[in-house]
Amino acid sequence: MFAQKLLLPAMAVFSIAAAQTATICSQPTVTVNSQADASLLADCSTVSGSIIIGSTASGTIAINGPQQVKGNLTSQSAGGLVSLSSTSISSIGGEFRLFNLTFLSTLQFDALTSVKTIYWEALPALPSLAFSGPLSKADSVTISNTFLTTLSGINLNTVSTLQIDNNNNLKAFDTQIANITNAVNINANGNLLAVTFPNLIWAANMTFRNVSSVKIPSLATVNGSLGFYGNYMDSIAAPNLTSVGSFATGVGSLAIVANGKLANITFPALRSVGGADQIANNTALDAISFASLTSVGGAIDFSGNFTTPELPKLEDVKGGFNVQSQQAITCSGFEAQSGGKGSIIQGKFICKSATATTETLDGSSSTTSSSSSASSTSKKSDATNFGFSEAALGFSLFG
């Protein structure tokens, strides 16, 4: 009887503790303002709702215990937060959002392999990631304005949208992604950034700006547009790329514009471009060759300082043809292919040889001087006469 009297209160205490644990695990939102708050989640295997790291959180927050967070994991404007970690969380069903965390210097998630969305912005003290999972599944990833030097630990198989921008210290991004179903935009990061997609086969849209190198050895198809703008690489190679955009719909362009050091482009297998094929203001590029190109749904628009372009298999250009070079080039062969409906080149034809000023279809010009070449946008041309929209001329997937 005495033992029963002792046991009953103990069981009651255990039941209360279990009920409290069950309650916090199933709450729609759990707010963590301290390590003591985070420790309350230790007995949860699954957090049914979202975890918010409050703006007053500081120092180290370690969320150890839960394996799954069905909602979001967010921290915004927690100015005193220095370290955020978890040894147990393997999946986040919603958004992993970190924003304006000025002193966050450690981000360590040992087990994390899957999230719905990553959105990290304004993390000026974060130099690296400690994700040993690695993180291999995410629908959308945005990493902007951080101090990261590498994205090691993020190695996705497939992603919908990938936005990497304004990470001035970022020097390398190497990922095993095989498919990009919406868009990738890598823009305005450190000028030493080397980007490698060794296994990428298919992408919807791709834009690269201000990078030192891009390696896409396996890329075969881009369903939308592919653009290289203002980069620092000396060569661009896509040895297995066969199509950009859709020739049937006239959607999806190839643009290689204002890459000052670019001396070589290699697209030996490219057969079709759905929209425009534009190469402009690449001052070191003296040769243009598309050995397999047969069909262009928009216009061909080449301007710069190059020898006669090589387009030996050209069969169908729905839009116009604008080729202007500061070097002496031969226009007669291309002119013989023009003439409107029924001809290979069906739109307006312009070919200028040894011209001091070259101009693209959107009115952007480049002028030879004794010391350098300069470009400026001075007017709008009758680009529509070439079957060439302004959006195709200077497309950007993210603004």
Picking from 182, 106, 184, 193, the residue whose alpha carbon sits closest to that of residue 149 is 193
Q: pLDDT per residue over 262-311, tens digit each?
A: 999 999 999 999 999 999 999 999 999 999 999 999 999 999 999 999 99
| Residue-level pLDDT at 21 | 54
Q: pLDDT per residue over 145-159, tens digit each?
A: 999 999 999 999 999
The answer on pLDDT for 371 being more than 50 is no
Parallel, antiparallel, or unpaired for β 357-359 and 364-368?
antiparallel
The answer on pLDDT for 138 being more than 90 is yes
| Residue-level pLDDT at 315 | 97
- Judging by beta carbons within 10 Å of its beta carbon (0-12, 13-18, 19+), is residue 319 exposed, middle or buried? buried
| Residue-level pLDDT at 342 | 87
pTM beyond cutoff 0.75: yes
Question: Residue 7 phi/psi, 5° resolution?
Answer: -70, -40
What is the C-alpha separation between 37 and 24, in angstroms, rounded? 10
Q: pLDDT per residue over 318-334, tens digit each?
A: 999 999 999 999 999 99
